Amino acid sequence: MVKEFPFVLTTGRMVEHMGGGAETRSNKYLAELQPEMYAEVNPRLGNDLGIREGDLIHIESPEGGRITVKAKLTERVDTKTIFLPFHFGGFLMGESLAGNFPEGLAPYVLGESANTVTNYGYDIVTQIQATKDGLCKVTRA
Amino acid sequence: MARLKFLCDVERCIDCGGCVVACKEGNHIPVGVNRRRVITINQGKPGEKSISVACMHCADAPCIAVCPVKCIYQREDGVVLHNKETCIGCGYCFMACPFGAPQFPKTGVFGSRGAMDKCTMCAGGPVETFSEKERTLYGQNRIAEGKVPLCAGMCATRALLAGDADVVADVYRERVFKRGSGANAWGWDKAYPKK
């Protein structure tokens, strides 16, 4: 499986958003500061995969989830890690769910949820489940 | 006459974006116009630094020199202001500014530029102080109220300093002295005990 899904996927927080982003994505100031879902990719890895800053990429999990997000090339992650912020929602596997919100209540910012691609795993010593990470495959969209 | 200045202490700035939001909320700035921004350099590398940038109210401001309608002027206390009713939105000041301070709202069907908008150091504009017109055109006039600008007022780590240049310089000098470099750097007293 590691051969097919060679990258470590980790999810985490951003300064501007909170939790699932339910409040902060509906706040015009914070929505303007962080208006898009993205995946952090190391520039070296981006170069190997032919990904440029702002390109759309697919992130695929072994369990079948696949999200389409923009690539952000940064050295904040190493060459084997992909970082996703988990504050976004409103898209599922490339399809917008904006129509499901009551009229006029959709947040300013919608994006793929990182939890679509987090996958199975647990710690063999403590039996604690891995809810925020996993393995993934990255391809150009 | 006192000279007003901004100073962003890069050792303290944590890139929280609070100054940006405080400015936008307090002065009712539309989406797409940013009087103040936080820039991060060397992201993800050792020595990553963030700095909050707005109009620096330069001593010899290039924007004043290039303005074809002479709408930008400098007050005696150093604050660079402009007259929005004279401004034609040509964008020359944006080209001249080394900090990217002048901002232009998009108006009209062809995306033509509206009158320039920039940081006023919360000092209003060339219309009557505390008038409704000043508030809608230029935002708050906190300098006239005897307060520091909103961005500096809300800065949680006190990284962004604003006010009388002498006082700002004194505060910064004291910080640099306490922080020190080399022998006085943070953690050195624990990590490398003096012999």
Query: For testing the chain B interface, which of A14, A33, A78 should be mutated: the one with the most B CBs within 10 Å?
Result: A33
Are A76 and B44 in contact (CB < 8 Å)? yes
Q: Burial letters for B172-186: b for 16+ Cβ neighbours within 10 Å, e otherwise?
A: eeeeeeeeeeeeeee
B187 Rama sector, left if φ>0, alpha if ψ -120 to 50, beta otherwise: left
| B40 contacts in chain A (CB < 8 Å) | none
CA distance linking residue B45 with residue B5, whole number of Å: 30
Residue B15 touches chain A, beta carbons under 8 Å: yes
Count of residues making up chain A: 141
Chains A, B: CB pairs < 8 Å: 23
Give CA angle at B183 (B177, B186), nearest 5°: 70
DSSP assignment of B30-60 equals PTT--SSEEEEESTTSTT-EEEEE-----TT
Residue A124 touches chain B, beta carbons under 8 Å: no
| A33 contacts in chain B (CB < 8 Å) | 17, 20-21
| A28 contacts in chain B (CB < 8 Å) | 31
AA letter at B101: A
CA distance linking residue A94 with residue B64, whole number of Å: 49
Are A15 and B17 in contact (CB < 8 Å)? yes
ipTM: 0.78
Residue A75 touches chain B, beta carbons under 8 Å: yes
Kindly report, residue by residue over B59-114, the tens digit of the pLDDT.
Answer: 888 999 999 999 999 988 889 999 988 888 888 898 998 888 898 887 666 666 77
The answer to whether B125 touches B83, Cβ cutoff 8 Å, is: yes
The answer to whether B152 touches B110, Cβ cutoff 8 Å, is: no
Indicate the residue of B15, B25, B32 with minimum beta-carbon distance to A29.
B25
Token digits of residue A130: 């891995």
Whether residue B126 is predicted with pLDDT greater than 90 in this model: the reply is no
- Tell me the shortest Cα–Cα distance from A83 to chain B, in angstroms: 13
AA letter at B43: Q
Residue B30 touches chain A, beta carbons under 8 Å: no
Kindly report, residue by residue over A75-94, the tens digit of the pLDDT.
Answer: 999 999 999 999 998 889 88
| A15 contacts in chain B (CB < 8 Å) | 15-17
CA distance linking residue B118 with residue B131, whole number of Å: 19
Average of per-residue pLDDT values in chain B: 85
Token digits of residue B33: 């116009």
What 3-state class would DSSP assign to A100? Answer: helix
CA distance linking residue B181 with residue B110, whole number of Å: 53
Q: How many CB atoms lie within 10 A of CB B75?
A: 15
Q: Report pLDDT for A37.
A: 92
Q: Report pLDDT for B155.
A: 92
Residue B25 touches chain A, beta carbons under 8 Å: yes
- Band (B175; pLDDT cuts 50, 70, 90): confident
- Tell me the shortest Cα–Cα distance from A76 to chain B, in angstroms: 4
Residue A30 touches chain B, beta carbons under 8 Å: yes
Whether residue A11 is predicted with pLDDT greater than 90 in this model: the reply is yes
Residue B24 touches chain A, beta carbons under 8 Å: yes
- Band (B150; pLDDT cuts 50, 70, 90): very high
Q: How far is CA A6 from the centre of its chain?
A: 16
Residue A16 touches chain B, beta carbons under 8 Å: yes
Q: Which residue has the tokens 């199975």?
A: A120
Q: Report pLDDT for A96.
A: 87
Longest dimension (CA), chain A: 48
DSSP 8-state secondary structure symbol assigned to residue A111: E
Kindly report, residue by residue over A25-66, the tens digit of the pLDDT.
Answer: 998 888 888 889 999 999 999 999 999 998 999 999 999 899
Indicate the residue of B17, B32, B45 with minimum beta-carbon distance to A33.
B17
Q: How far is CA A96 from the centre of its chain?
A: 15
CA distance linking residue A44 with residue B64, whole number of Å: 44
